Amino acid sequence: MKLLTLVLLVGVLSGSAGAAESIPNSQATEPDQGRHFLWRVVGSNGTEVFLLGSIHALPKDAYPLAAEINDALNSARSVFFEVDMEDTSALGGRMMAAGALPPERRLGDVLDSETRRLLDAYLEVSGLSFGAFEAMRPWMAALALTSIELMKAGFSAESGLDLHLAQRARRQGKTIQAFETADYQIGLFSDMDEDESRAFLRYTLKDMDTVASQLGSLTEAWKKGDIETLESLLTEAFADEPELFDRLVTVRNLAWLPRIEDLLKGDGTSMVVVGALHLVGPGGLIEVLRERGYRVEQL
């Protein structure tokens, strides 16, 4: 579940600009099911910031959203996302360029024997051709393969929570800002050395047979605000990869915190939408904000 975790709950390269308007009943609400992956943080002057943990790719039937999420969005004057959704309009091309091998090298040239064996076995079962991936760096092939598995299961970034809420916030005339650029997110992968890139593809291939069976339970845990399940997923995903955890989660959380605290010291209600795993667990935004004395309440 490592790469699935990254795509859905950490939020790197979470998608390209899409037609979130195609989701039906976008402002309808579902019956209340208890808690949600949504927190209210209150600053010393009473300023509110809503923190919403996102799943970056969803099936269309994940909607409508809970009333609490809709209410938080409607009350917010500004909405922050990990990346500017408009900045992703050319993301596919920039991603492919960064993930392409030099013309004189092919994927088969850079793979170790175990990773090549796992890839060949996966392609044979899936009916896919090696030629479709041979110009890609291993990390790019891993992302491409995971996108295929998500699409087969009916999940897409176009139905993801970020795009959905960004479209609605833009229509409502809210101020929309981003913590990162698309190029920064691409760099999280393109800066990998060859050993890291190969390992990333290898781990991905080892997890492929569990993707479809885990997607439904993961989405349900998110919809119910089930912190324990997603914290367990966080532990499982990064147990053997502390450096990857630091790069993709901890460092980014620390970079976002000053801007969140500025919101809490300012005026007006704001909403922050980031990958769900950025909120929970050790070093998660919820824990750190509580440690810094803010009142944090799960809704």
Residue 1 in this model has a pLDDT that exceeds 60: no
Handedness of CA 180, 168, 37, 239 (dihedral sign): negative
Instruction: Give the whole-angstrom CA distance, residue 14 versus residue 238.
Output: 19
Phi and psi for 271 in degrees, rounded to 5? -130, 135
DSSP tag of 12:
S
Its sign, for the CA torsion 73, 74, 76, 81, is positive
> Maximum Cα–Cα distance for the chain, whole Å?
60
**Is 0.85 surpassed by the pTM of this model?**
yes
Whole-number mean pLDDT of the chain? 87
Q: How confident is the model at residue 32 (pLDDT cuts 50, 70, 90)?
A: low
Distance (Å, whole) CA 163 – CA 176: 12
Helix axes 91-98, 138-152, angle to 10 degrees: 140
Report the 10 Å Cβ neighbour count for 254: 13
DSSP per residue over 30-78, as a string? Answer: EPP-S--SEEEEE-TTS-EEEEEEE-SSB-GGGPSEEHHHHHHHHH-SE
DSSP three-state, residue 156: strand
Which phi and psi (to 5°) does residue 100 adopt?
Answer: -90, 140
Distance between CA atoms of residues 180 and 82, nearest Å? 6
| Average pLDDT of the residues in 92-119 | 94
d(CA 164, CA 162) in angstroms, rounded, equals: 5
pLDDT reading at 16 higher than 70: no
Alpha helices in the chain (DSSP H): 2-5, 67-75, 91-98, 107-110, 113-126, 138-152, 161-171, 182-190, 194-207, 211-223, 227-238, 242-245, 251-265, 285-291
> What residues are paired with 176 via a beta bridge?
79
Q: How far apart are CA 57 and CA 154, in angstroms?
A: 9
How many Å is the Cα radius of gyration of the chain? 19
Region of poorest pLDDT, from 10-24, 52-66, 152-166, 180-194: 10-24
Rounded CA-CA distance 206/270 in Å is: 40
Least trusted range by pLDDT, from 67-76, 227-236, 262-271, 274-283: 227-236
- Mode of pairing for the β-strands spanning 295-298 and 65-66: unpaired
Please give the Cα distance from 189 to 184 (Å, whole number). 9
Confidence of residue 18 (pLDDT cuts 50, 70, 90): very low
65-66 and 175-180 strand pairing? unpaired
Among 181, 91, 186, CA closest to 137: 186
| Pair 176, 95: CB distance under 8 Å | no
pLDDT digits 0-9 by tens, 240-293? 778 888 888 999 999 999 999 999 999 999 999 999 989 998 889 999 999 999
Tell whether the model's pLDDT for residue 25 goes beyond 50: no
Handedness of CA 157, 159, 161, 164 (dihedral sign): positive
Domain boundaries, the chain: 2-298
- Give the pLDDT confidence of 134-190 residue by residue, as tens digits: 999 999 999 999 888 888 888 888 888 998 999 999 999 999 999 998 888 889 899
Q: How confident is the model at residue 28 (pLDDT cuts 50, 70, 90)?
A: low
